[in-house]
Structure 1
Amino acid sequence: MIKFRNPYHIEPPGALREILSHPVNETEAIELVVFQEHRYAFFYWNKWMHKNKSSNPPCLVSLDWHQDLCYPGETEKEWLDELDLTSDADVSIFTWAKLAGNNDGHILCAAYLNLIGDIYVHCRQELGQDTWKDEELIDANGNKHIIKKFKTHQALQDALLNSSETSVFFDIDLDFFSVKNGLSDGSFEFTYLKEEEIRNMLDKDNPLINWIFERIKGFTIATEPKHCGGLLRSNKFLDLISEIYFSPDLFAPKCNWKWKTKY
C-alpha cells in the first residue's frame, strides 16, 4: 500500500485547480481544473458530486474531437464497484493508473457510478453509420443515462435549451478546436477552427454558453497536446479560453471571470 504524506489532499498528477466565483449566481463558487490527460476529469466529477451531496448528478456537456464513450467492461465494472469514492487517494490512483490510458472510458465509467447524469457530447469523430444515434447506459444502481452526440453546435444548443437539465459539468478537450485531426486519422496533418469561430462559440452571450453558465457546477479542460498537433498549439487554445473568460489570466493571482473583475 502506498503511504501518502497527506492522504486527504491528493489530486491527479499535473492538474491545476482554480476556485472561482460562479459566473452567474452570486451565492456560489465553482472550481475549474486543467490537466493533460482527459481521464483525470473522473476524479473531479466525483469530488464535486460528493461535495454537493446531491442524489441527482449534473449532466455532462463535453466538447471533444473524439467521442470518448467506450463502455466499461466487466473487469472495469468490478474495479468501479470496489472503488472507495470517499478516498481522494484511491480515486486519484484509480483515475491515473486504472482508467483507460487512451482516455476514452472515463465518461461512461463516471456514468456507471452515477457521478454524472445524462451525457451531451459535441464531437467530430465518425464511428460508422450509427455515430449520431442516442444510446443509453444503465448504471450500477439501475439508473438510466441517455448518451447524446451532436455533429453541430446548433444541434447541441437546441437539445439543451429544450431540456429540463438544471445543473451541468462543462468539459472541453482542446483538440475539439481541430477540424482535421492528423493523429486520429494517421495523416499527422491538422487543420483548425478559425479564432473568430472559437470566440463566437464560447462567448458568454452565446445562448448555449449562457445556458451552461447559469447551471454550471464545475469546469474541466483537457489540454491533450498530442491530439492538438503539439504543445504550443494546445497552449494557444488554452490562452484563448483564458482571454475570452478571465481577468487576470487563468491561474494568475485574483483570477476571476472577466465580466466580474471589470467593476
Structure 2
Amino acid sequence: MDESHKHLRLAGVIRLSLGGGRGPSDAYVFDPHRLALPAWACALEDGPAALLVTLDRHLDLVVPQAPAAVPDRSAGLRALDEHARWSLDVRNYDHVLAAMEAGLVGDALVIARGRPRGTFSGDVYVDTRGRPHRLVVVPTVDRAAEAFNAPAPGDAVREVLQAAGRVLLDVDLDCFTSLSDADPTTVLPWPRGVIRDYLLPPDSESFWDAVLEKCVALTLAREPHHCGGLLASGELFRDVAEVLFRELLRTQPP
C-alpha cells in the first residue's frame, strides 16, 4: 500500500482533508482517545517529534502501566496501532505519555480541568529512554492565551510554543462537557455559545495564531461514553465542529 494511505488500515480512524482555511491540512477523527497514538504517527510520518497542544476535560497524563513496553515510532505504524488498542488503558488516560515514550511527542501544552487518579504531577516527564518532556498545564484557553500574551513568572506557554518546530492540535469532545452538580454521574454537554466562549475567548487570537502556524494535524476524539452517550455526543460534535472548523480553522465542518 502507498505510504500516504497507511491511515486506511487504522480501523475506526477517519482522516479528513482540510482545505481553504488556516492551520493543519489534515484531521483525524476517532472515538477512543488512545487511537490518537497511531493517528499522530500517521501525521508526523518520519519527521521530528511535535509539541502536543491538547484540550480535554481530563488531564490524560497517567503513566502507562508498562512504559518501557511502548514501541518506539521506528517500530512502525502497525506496532503503535496494536499497542494503543490492546495495551493502553481503556479509560484513555495514558496515551499522551505513551506518545512521549514512542518519540512522537516532545513537550505538551495541556489545557484540561480534571485530574484522574494516578495523573503524573511533575513539570517534566523523563521517559524510559532518558528523554525529558516539559508538561505545561493550564485549565482553560483564556488562561493559556493570557500566559502567552503576558507571561507571568513561571508561565511557559509562550516558551514551549516558540520552541516547537511542529505542533499537533488535539481535542477531546468531552472538553466541552461538565458533570452535573445534582448528579455527578450525569454529563452535561455545553451549548454552542459556551463552546465558543471557551474555545475563542477575547484576546486569544495571537495564541491561536502561534498554535496553528506550526500545526501539522488536528486529532479529534469523540469519546461518546464521556459525553452523555451516542446521541448526545453526536449533537455535541455538530456544535463543536461548527466552532472548531468554521470559526477557528476557517474551513468547512466535516
> Which of the five TM-score ranges fits, normalised by the shorter chain?
0.7 to 0.9
Unaligned residue ranges in structure 1 (runs of 5+): 248-256
Who wins on radius of gyration, i.e. which is larger?
1
Find the counterpart in structure 2 of residue 198 from structure 1. 195
* TM, length-normalised to structure 1: 0.75
Output the CA distance in 1 between the equivalents of 2:120 and 2:101. Answer: 21
Output the CA distance in 2 between the equivalents of 1:154 and 1:20. Answer: 26
Runs of 4+ in structure 1 deviating by more than 6 angstroms, as ranges, are: none
Unaligned residue ranges in structure 2 (runs of 5+): 148-155
Secondary structure (helix, strand or coil) at the match of 1:91 reads helix
Secondary structure (helix, strand or coil) at the match of 1:179 reads strand
Contact 1:132 1:150 in 2 (8 A): no
* Pairwise CA RMSD: 3.4
Displacement of 1:60 after TM fit?
Answer: 0.8
The alignment status of 1:215 with 2:210, answered yes or no, reads no
Amino acid at match of 1:80: V
Change (3 A) 1:70 1:127: closer
Output the CA distance in 2 between the equivalents of 1:114 and 1:86. Answer: 11
Find the counterpart in structure 1 of residue 141 from structure 2. 153
**2:64 paired residue among 54, 58, 72:** 72
Amino acid at match of 1:49: L
Output the CA distance in 1 between the equivalents of 2:180 and 2:11. Answer: 26
Change (3 A) 1:241 1:132: same
**2:83 paired residue among 94, 97, 100:** 94
Identical aligned residues as a percent: 25
Find the counterpart in structure 1 of residue 22 from structure 2. 24
Output the CA distance in 1 between the equivalents of 2:172 and 2:211. Answer: 16
Find the counterpart in structure 2 of residue 234 from structure 1. 233
**2:11 paired residue among 13, 17, 26:** 13
Displacement of 1:168 after TM fit?
Answer: 1.3
Output the CA distance in 1 between the equivalents of 2:50 and 2:73. Answer: 20
Output the CA distance in 2 between the equivalents of 1:111 and 1:43. Answer: 13
Output the CA distance in 1 between the equivalents of 2:9 and 2:127. Answer: 25
Deviation string, structure 1 residues 107-156 (Cα, Å, up to 9, x no partner): 0011122211111111121469xx89652111344221011221232222
Output the CA distance in 2 between the equivalents of 1:156 and 1:181. Answer: 25
